[in-house]
Every structure is written in structure tokens, then in C-alpha cells.
């Protein structure tokens, strides 16, 4: 068949035998060269289509994998939202994808005084979905606690106590003060200071600074100034024994007149020794106010 094709070509074109052979070889080569671009294009197009399909398949697989990661073990959905585990209520925990039982455990833990100081503390809750907690890590907000202001109360208390001690230390004991010390108060001279000391001796010692008001000639303004310099630092009142002392001895006290002293001795003679100073309240001539004034100076203890 090839020989017939060569003869026809030689007769049609008038080629020699060698020219005919060259033409038969050259024509297929030219056809192949002309067809090569289209063949290559088709091949590349087919390869590109396969690559695109593969990319789409991989993308679809990645999306499916991502969706599965956003699912909890109990098929609840992860909801990207910021929250503080120390403040949200039970309903909010359930909305975030946690089981109701877990939410109740968290609320009970907080009600008992517990708190989450860091994100990892949530993993310690019994029965909690740890994968879901991990997924929420970047959305959990736990504010740092504000530093508590230092209380100034203890320091202030110490300052006040020190001031009181210093103030008290600066005062004179009214029961030990002499005439010169009493006269440091403006308004007190030798006469008035002498009266204060004499009245102190008659009483047997002051038991209260208010007794200064009983001193003849001591004005209120002077009394108020005395309070800044004098106080009862040591109570050392001389005692009168109502079971032993006589009417005359009792009546020498500024608070007891002869009539009252006689009533005290008479009651003792009728009822025996007093068992307590309070028994004086049974004597009708001794009022409550008189009893309160005289009681610090009385005793039933026997003298040695």
C-alpha cells in the first residue's frame, strides 16, 4: 500500500524516488508539530482539573474536621463568646454547651466560697467536659483581684492609745498632789489649794474628780482646768469599819452627820454585825444618793 502511495505521489508531483521518500517522512513530522500545542493543552487541562478536584476534596475534608472539633462529646455546639467563670449563672453555662449537672456543680462550688483564679481551675470540676473547656480557653476572662487597701485602723488605734497614755502620764494624782502642784492651775492659789488638800484628808482620799466640786470656793471654770492636770490614778480611800467604829468616829466623815452615824450603830446593835456594806440600804435615813457617795469609804473587814 505504501508503494502505491509513493507511485501516485511521484506521478502527481513528478518527484524522484528519494524526494518521494523524504516527503513521506516529512509530512507526519509536520502534522505532529502542528498538533502538539493542542495535545499539550488538553493534557495540561486534564491534569489541572484533577488537581482542582483534589483540592476541593481536601478542603471539604478540612471543613468537616473543623466542624467536628467544634462539637462537644455530648453533641453540644461550641459558641465563641467571652465570659467570666466566677460570675455567669447556671443558664449561661448550659448555653455555652455544658451539661446542666455540670453547671449546677460549678454554682455549688462557688456558693461554698470557691473561685476560679486561673483558667485551668475549671478542669478540676467533677464531670466537666475538658475538651470544651480547652476550646474556650482564649475566651475565658478572669480579672486580677484588686489589692485590698491597707487598713489604717490598727495604726490609728496605737496612735490614740499612745496619746492617751502620754496624756495620763502628764497628769498628777489628785490624792498625792501637794499645794505647789495644785497651784499650776490658773485660779488656784495657796488658800484654795489648802482647802482641796484639807477636804481630801477629811474624805479619806478622793474617789472621783467630781468631788472637787464639793470644795468651798472652787468655781466651775477652775474645776474644768483642773481636769487637764489631775486625775484619780491610784484609788487609796481610807476605810471606815461600820462593824467597829463609834458614832463620833463615823460622824467625822463629811458625808455622815451625827444622826446618820447613830442610825448605823443602832442598826448594828439591834441586828448584829453587818454582813455587807449594802445592808445600810435598809436604814431609812440613808438615801440611795448618800449610799453611793459613802459606800467607797466603808468596809466590814476587821482591822488588824
pLDDT of 168 higher than 60? no
Residue corresponding to grid cell 492659789 = 189
- Cell (9 digits) for 55: 483540592
Query: Can you give the pLDDT at residue 267?
Result: 93
**pLDDT tens-digit profile of 203-223?**
999 999 999 999 999 999 999
pTM: 0.45
Q: In sequence order, what are the beta bridge partners of 240?
A: 298
Give the DSSP per-residue string, 114-169: ---SSGGGGGGSTT--HHHHHHTGGGB--PPPPPPPPP-HHHHHHHHHHHHHHHHH
**pLDDT tens-digit profile of 100-145?**
999 899 999 999 888 898 888 888 888 888 888 888 888 898 888 7
pLDDT of 175 higher than 70? yes
Nearest to 137 by CA among 124, 109, 118: 118
pLDDT of 21 higher than 80? no
pLDDT of 74 higher than 50? no
**pLDDT tens-digit profile of 232-279?**
887 778 999 999 999 999 999 999 999 999 999 999 999 999 999 999
User: What average pLDDT is seen over the chain?
Assistant: 83
Amino acid at each position: 500500500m505504501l508503494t502505491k502511495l509513493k507511485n501516485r505521489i511521484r506521478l502527481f508531483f513528478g518527484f524522484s524516488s528519494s524526494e518521494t521518500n523524504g516527503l513521506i517522512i516529512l509530512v507526519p513530522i509536520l502534522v505532529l508539530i502542528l498538533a502538539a500545542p493542542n495535545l499539550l493543552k488538553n493534557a495540561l487541562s486534564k491534569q489541572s482539573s484533577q488537581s482542582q478536584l483534589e483540592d476541593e476534596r481536601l478542603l471539604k475534608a478540612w471543613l468537616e474536621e473543623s466542624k467536628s472539633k467544634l462539637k462537644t462529646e455530648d453533641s453540644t455546639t461550641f459558641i465563641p463568646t467571652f465570659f467570666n467563670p466566677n460570675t455567669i449563672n447556671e443558664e449561661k453555662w448550659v448555653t455555652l454547651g455544658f451539661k446542666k449537672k455540670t453547671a449546677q456543680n460549678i454554682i455549688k462550688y462557688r456558693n461554698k466560697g470557691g473561685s476560679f483564679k486561673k483558667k485551668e481551675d475549671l478542669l478540676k470540676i467533677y464531670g466537666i467536659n475538658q475538651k470544651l473547656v480547652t476550646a474556650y480557653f482564649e475566651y475565658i476572662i478572669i480579672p486580677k483581684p484588686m489589692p485590698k487597701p491597707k487598713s489604717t485602723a490598727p495604726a490609728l488605734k496605737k496612735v490614740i492609745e499612745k496619746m492617751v497614755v502620754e496624756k495620763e502620764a502628764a497628769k498628777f494624782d489628785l490624792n498625792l498632789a501637794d499645794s505647789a502642784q495644785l497651784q499650776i492651775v490658773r485660779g488656784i492659789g495657796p488658800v484654795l489649794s489648802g482647802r482641796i488638800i484639807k477636804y481630801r484628808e477629811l474624805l479619806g482620799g478622793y474617789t472621783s474628780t467630781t468631788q472637787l466640786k464639793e470644795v468651798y470656793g472652787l468655781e466651775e471654770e477652775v474645776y474644768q482646768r483642773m481636769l487637764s492636770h489631775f486625775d484619780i490614778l491610784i484609788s487609796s480611800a481610807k476605810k471606815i469599819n461600820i462593824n467597829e467604829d463609834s458614832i463620833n468616829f463615823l460622824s467625822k466623815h463629811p458625808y455622815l452627820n451625827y444622826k446618820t452615824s447613830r442610825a448605823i450603830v443602832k442598826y448594828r446593835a439591834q441586828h448584829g454585825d453587818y454582813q455587807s456594806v449594802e445592808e445600810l440600804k435598809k436604814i431609812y435615813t440613808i438615801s440611795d444618793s448618800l449610799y453611793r457617795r459613802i459606800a467607797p469609804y466603808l468596809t466590814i473587814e476587821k482591822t488588824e
